[in-house]
Amino acid sequence: MSASEADLRPVEVPRPTRSNTPAVRTMARLRSERDTLRGLTEAGDPTGVERQHALGKRTARERLASLLDEGSFVELGLFRRRRDEGPATEGRRPRTDGVVTGAGTIDGRRVFVYAQDFTILGGSLGAEHAEKIHRVMDLALDNGAPLIGLNDSGGARIQEGVASLDGYGGIFRRHVAASGIIPQISVILGPCAGGAAYSPALADVTFMVRGTARMFLTGPDVIAAVSGERVGPEELGGADVHGARTGVATVVHDDEEECLEDVRHLVSLLPDNNLASPPGEPRGGDPQDDGRRPRLVEIVPAEPNRPYDMRDVVAEIVDDGDFFEIHEGWARNVLCALARVDGAVVGVVGNQPMVLAGVLDSDAAQKAARFVRFCDAFNIPLLTLVDVPGFLPGTDQEHAGVIRHGAKLLYAYCEATVPRVQVIVRKAYGGAYIVMDSRSIGTDLSLAWPGNEIAVMGAEGAVNVVHRRELRSAADPDALRRELVTDYRERLMHPYRAPEEGFVDDVIDPADTRVAVIKGLAMLRDKRREQPRRKHGNVPL
């Protein structure tokens, strides 16, 4: 072969393998950078994490890990951060912008969540932070799934001015748009101050943790500067204040672990949205259990003025004696709870004779009204246990607007279209009888125990009003009063007087209460009633 021919022969150049092409090398480098950045972002600032733990609080990601099923969390906006505005933001643009958002599952059911991260800019809300929350709220509504917010924030980010306030406005507007469509749960695990406090106030259920959760519009420093009053943050807006005095907190817990576990429990009792039914559970249990509960006769005294704990009655009626109490510490003269009866979720409202003899007052009426509307919005049947001597009398109550607040409860029951069962356990007097889901305001099934007393007022009070002149002129007023009281009871408060006139459907053996409630709810299972078309009613807020 000549030299010229050798020069013309093709030279075999080694072809690059798929593992070392420029594109593959570039992608590997970018993937490594991404993984490093993701790892650093998810790990958080060690100093901030340490400080959070020192305060007795978990990080946002630790909280989500406790709340959601393992491995179910899908994060949104991991790399998002504040816009670069030059020197004003230099070194202050951490990724996530102080809030972790996304979706996951609780016992296999999807929920959307956001968790504010106090280790980043104090969890303060700026424009990007707010937009991340807006997006997850929109997704929750679009997908018809519950929304859970874990709040731990210093409030509006002052450096971003009105943009922070606009961000809060967008959150509040979405809360209202989603109200009654998807369950909204707020969990306060740290500070929640200023405008931020309106977010949990607009939620359906608000949890707080003692010692770390604080919620107020104006903090202690502002109050001291304006009024000179000195008050600590716990005394001003701690969990016990909102759980027992203001009614803003629905559920109060001692620690985060217990709190987040209870959030999971609550979700198990709620439907995904207003078009779904609450999740049912198949009933197993003891095959020898015939549903009778003889202990109910022992729990409730025959004497109408002797107290007992209505929670003991509820425990005998619901499955496994288990119920989720709402506002346990506030307005304790009325009990509100979610429970299961024969596997189906029900909302229970009951007077509580252990507190103020079970009378209704302004706070109790508000508490029960809100709960009734919540149950009605999410297709949860209502069971009302009645033992009420009336509304609390007194100048304070009248001036506090007990008429207006009582009308809220009346409105809530009248508007409710879910199945409704009323059980008159002992006494039901006056206007309080009417508003506790009586037949006259639309209950579907009214049951009563044999010792029921339904009247305008108690016998003694009625006699003192109706026969005051005879008593004043009687030779022996006490003897006459006893005679008149006996006559009043026999004629107007006889246990079968209301059933005879159609105000009660059946008088049942107390031991058969659970069975009767199960049968009643089964009868009403397919109830459908549409309200007349209107923009909205004018509830007496």
Cα 357 from Cα 503, distance rounded (Å): 24
Q: Is 194 a catalytic residue?
A: yes
Q: Which of the following is catalytic: 195, 211, 247, 430?
A: 195
Give whole-number Cα distances, 309 to 50, 206, 335, 351, 354, in Å.
45, 25, 10, 10, 6
- Residue tagged active-site, from 144, 169, 431, 442: 431
- Between CA 3 and CA 117 the distance in angstroms is 75
The residues pairing with 324 across neighbouring beta strands, listed in sequence order, are 338
CA dist 21 → 18, 32, 168, 522 (Å): 6, 17, 49, 69
Q: For this structure, is 431 an active site residue?
A: yes
Whether 44 is catalytic is: no
Neighbour-count burial of 252, counting CB atoms closer than 10 A to its CB (0-12 exposed, 13-18 middle, 19+ buried)? buried
Q: Could you tell me the CA-to-CA distances from 196 to 64, 154, 167 in Å, in that order?
A: 20, 9, 10
Q: Rounded CA gap, 418 and 275, in Å? A: 13
Supply the DSSP string of 343-397, one letter for each residue: TEEEEEEEE-TTTGGG-B-HHHHHHHHHHHHHHHHTT--EEEEEEE--BPPSHHH
Distance of alpha carbon 409 from alpha carbon 135, whole angstroms:
35
DSSP symbols for 374-386:
HHHHTT--EEEEE
Tokens describing residue 120: 């980043």
Q: Which of 203, 432, 459, 462 is catalytic?
A: 432
What is d(CA 39, CA 151) in angstroms, rounded to the nearest whole number? Answer: 24
Residue type at 409 in one-letter notation = L
Nearest Cα neighbor of 310 from 368, 245, 239, 252 is: 368
Dihedral angle sign, alpha carbons of residues 461, 466, 472, 475: negative
Question: Distance from CA of residue 445 to its chain's centroid?
Answer: 26
d(CA 275, CA 268): 16
Pairing of strands 214-216, 191-193: parallel
432 annotated active-site: yes
Q: Which residue in the list 167, 194, 390, 451 is annotated as catalytic?
A: 194
> 429: part of which helix (H) or strand (E)?
strand 420-429
Residue 218 dihedral angles phi and psi, to the nearest 5°: -125, 125
Angle between helices 162-178 and 127-143 (to 10 degrees): 10
Sign of CA dihedral 35, 36, 40, 41: negative
Tokens of 69: 């099923």
Q: Which residues are catalytic?
A: 194-195, 431-432
